[in-house]
């Protein structure tokens, strides 16, 4: 697959494999505002685009190798969109546009993931796409999940399972909320927020760009042996290295304001476990963030 042209943005991000850290992340933005990321395992593209442009993007990225492509429609700004479309990139008769019903929105968020080396067989790509969609539904938010647990009777090779995990880690580390609403969110004001049950140690401000965590917000302990404990731990390490967090051991806090695109990613990082930020961030009247947008 040809690497897309465009300027490289200087984001010194860290992604991780099964056993080691790798400083190998490059984020590129092309002329169509699609964001492209690479690791040693694979290539990920994320774009908010008109659905016709999205179809072209998906097809162009899938020419040389079978890829996983998810198209997400979300007009209400809710956590879990009504539809997740999986494009079978190996079927020449499949049409991304045909998979949209007449009432679907004109804009969509598209994720295309494909291997950097070698190829995925059609059944492997379809299995990955299905697993991603199922895990997203179970998590009540659209995101790439961790190591796959395929349905009974189906399995991924060790190499492909590792690739999917690395792509998941990269996407999460880059702070790209794959399935949050691509539509511009409108706020009539920017209320002060706190996490449920943590009014004295957390403070944030909502904005159309995401959620701004205020300096002085204190982090909770990581969930022992949690599904995403390792990923959240590495994200905390990255913020420590950036000087956003300070502290040692279990005593960590924000020492400067920091913007997150995804309220759930911010909430999970603070709580130390997966958290639905749309329901957990509250204003002083106890209204959840999803009610304020």
- Summarize pLDDT for 148-179 with one digit per residue, the tens: 343 334 344 454 444 444 444 444 444 433 33
Per-residue burial over 86-103, b = 16 or more CB atoms within 10 Å of its CB, e = otherwise? bbbbbeeeeebeebbeee
Which residues touch 92 (CB under 8 Å, ≥6 apart)?
Answer: none
- Do 283 and 149 belong to one domain? no
Domain boundary, last residue among 141, 173, 205: 173
- Do 91 and 203 belong to one domain? no
What's the half-sphere exposure (Cβ side, CA atoms, 13 Å) at 183? 16
**18 lies in which domain range?**
8-173
Average pLDDT value for residue range 84-97: 38
- Summarize pLDDT for 217-242 with one digit per residue, the tens: 999 999 888 777 877 887 888 888 78
- pTM, two decimals, is 0.43
% of the chain residues with pLDDT over 70: 33
- Which of 116-120, 151-155, 188-192, 257-261 is predicted with the least confidence, judged by mean pLDDT? 151-155
What is the number of structural domains in the chain?
A: 2
- Do 168 and 83 belong to one domain? yes
In terms of C-beta distances under 8 Å and separation of at least 24 residues, what long-range contacts does 51-56 make, across chains too?
51/96, 51/97, 51/100, 51/104, 51/105, 51/106, 51/107, 51/108, 52/97, 54/96, 54/108, 54/110, 55/95, 55/96, 55/97
Domain boundary, last residue among 173, 207, 229: 173
- Summarize pLDDT for 12-52 with one digit per residue, the tens: 333 323 333 333 444 455 554 555 555 444 455 544 444 44
């Amino acid at each position: 697959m040809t690497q897309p042209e465009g300027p490289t943005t200087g984001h010194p991000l860290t992604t991780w494999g099964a056993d080691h850290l790798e400083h190998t992340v490059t984020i590129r933005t092309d002329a169509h505002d699609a964001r492209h990321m690479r690791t040693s395992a694979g290539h990920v593209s994320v774009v908010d685009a008109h659905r016709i442009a999205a179809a072209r993007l998906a097809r162009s990225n899938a020419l040389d190798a079978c890829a996983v492509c998810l198209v997400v429609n979300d007009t209400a700004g809710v956590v879990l969109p009504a539809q997740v479309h999986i494009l079978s990139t190996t079927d020449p008769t499949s049409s991304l546009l045909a998979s949209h019903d007449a009432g679907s929105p004109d804009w969509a968020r598209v994720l295309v993931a494909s291997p950097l080396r070698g190829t995925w067989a059609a059944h492997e790509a379809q299995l990955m796409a299905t697993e991603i969609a199922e895990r997203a539904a179970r998590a009540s938010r659209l995101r790439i999940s961790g190591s796959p647990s395929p349905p009974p009777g189906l399995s991924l090779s060790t190499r492909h399972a590792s690739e999917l995990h690395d792509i998941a880690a990269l996407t999460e580390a880059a702070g790209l909320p794959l399935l949050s609403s691509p539509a511009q969110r409108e706020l009539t004001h920017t209320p002060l927020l706190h996490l449920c049950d943590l009014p004295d140690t957390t403070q944030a401000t909502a904005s159309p760009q995401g959620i701004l965590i205020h300096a002085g917000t204190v982090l909770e302990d990581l969930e022992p042996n949690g599904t995403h404990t390792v990923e959240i731990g590495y994200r905390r390490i990255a913020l420590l290295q950036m000087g956003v967090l300070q502290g040692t051991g279990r005593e960590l806090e924000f020492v400067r304001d920091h913007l997150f695109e995804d309220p759930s990613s911010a909430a999970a990082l603070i709580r130390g476990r997966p958290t639905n930020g749309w329901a957990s961030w509250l204003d002083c009247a106890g209204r959840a963030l999803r009610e304020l947008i």
